Amino acid sequence: MTGRLAVVGLGPGDPRYLTPEAGETLTAAQALYGYAPYLECVPARAGQSRHPSDNREESARAAAALRHAAQGANVAVVSGGDPGVFAMAAAICEAIEAGPENWRALDVVFVPGITAMLAVAAKIGAPLGHDFCALSLSDNLKPWPLVERRLDAAASAGLVIALYNPVSRARPWQFGSAMERLRRHLPPATPIVFGHAVGRPHERVAVTTLAAAGATPADMATLVIVGTRETRMIARPGRTPLVYTPRAAAEVSA
Ligand code: SAH
């Protein structure tokens, strides 16, 4: 079987964040699959077919891309950021595991990208400078009580938390509820970073505290970094503050 499937991370939006490997893989592909707004970020190339789909259709998109590759084509599936972080790489693996035997014989490669939490962190200092974790606040694929249990565990263990998918039109209350939950474990002055559309034209990065976090607007293009008791803010004249988590932590930090 000669078909090839590449699962490619585009980074957060700025073309300078696209790795050379990702760029080469996209140029070489005969067919591109992905969420429509991500596909629009990929420069057009003659002779390359495009197969945009909706955000919610990850499983169907994965199966369509695999079927196409199994016909012998060189196919690329794109994700924003890194494809392995709340994105298409796991959907492709799920489809291969559940799918026909011949999909296992395909040449499948995963091309990493800069994930949103790294792009946001780089805009503000070093909030992920000590132990951290990443959680998706979406309860589309897991029950909300599990999200709460993970928030409790992460905050009480003294981990910085990168929150993906904080808010959507279908999930208006979850973010406020998550902040309330975190107040059980963390002081009101805990720094919170909001990174909106980082690497895109309307980029905005704001720093607030856990006490005020509910009032800061967040949406599907926002990544939120919740600090720990150790996370610090350095005020600077005429510049945005630096937020960082020191490399060393006390034995019990939560
Ligand atoms: N695979 C992506 C994440 C997909 S989940 C990655 O590695 O970045 C989608 C969530 O990622 C969004 O709700 C938001 O929380 C975050 N995100 C993606 N791109 C972003 C950007 N440019 N700026 C801020 N957050 C972003």
Which are the contacts of 46, defined by CB distance < 8 A and separation ≥ 6? none
Which are the contacts of 156, defined by CB distance < 8 A and separation ≥ 6? 185, 254
On whether the CB atoms of residues 228 and 254 are closer than 8 A, the answer is yes
Residue 216: pLDDT band (50, 70, 90) is confident
Q: Which atom of ligand 1 is nearest to the CA of 195?
A: 24
Place of tokens 């309307």: 202
On whether the CB atoms of residues 78 and 10 are closer than 8 A, the answer is yes
Mean pLDDT of all residues belonging to the chain: 95
The distance of Cα 170 from the centroid of its chain, to the nearest Å, equals 19
pTM, full prediction: 0.96
Q: Is the CB of 165 under 6 A from ligand 1?
A: yes
What's the gap in Å between 227 CA and the centre of ligand 1? 18
User: pLDDT per residue over 111-161, tens digit each?
Assistant: 999 999 999 999 999 999 999 999 999 988 999 999 999 999 999 999 999
Residue 172 has phi, psi (to 5 degrees) of: -75, -25
On whether the CB atoms of residues 189 and 91 are closer than 8 A, the answer is no
Place of tokens 């990443």: 134
Output the pLDDT for position 122: 98
Residue 101 predicted with pLDDT over 80 = yes
Q: Is the CB of 81 under 6 A from ligand 1?
A: yes
User: pLDDT per residue over 172-188, tens digit each?
Assistant: 899 999 999 999 999 99
**Closest C-alpha among 175, 150, 152, 162 to residue 226:** 162
Residue 170: pLDDT band (50, 70, 90) is confident
What's the gap in Å between 198 CA and the centre of ligand 1? 9
Output the pLDDT for position 172: 87
Output the pLDDT for position 1: 58
Q: Is the CB of 195 under 6 A from ligand 1?
A: yes
User: pLDDT per residue over 17-61, tens digit each?
Assistant: 999 999 999 999 999 999 999 999 898 888 999 999 988 789 999
Residue 253 predicted with pLDDT over 60 = no
What is the Cα gyration radius of the chain?
20
Q: Is the CB of 93 under 6 A from ligand 1?
A: no
Q: Is the CB of 127 under 6 A from ligand 1?
A: no
> Which residue type sits at 109?
V
Output the pLDDT for position 56: 77
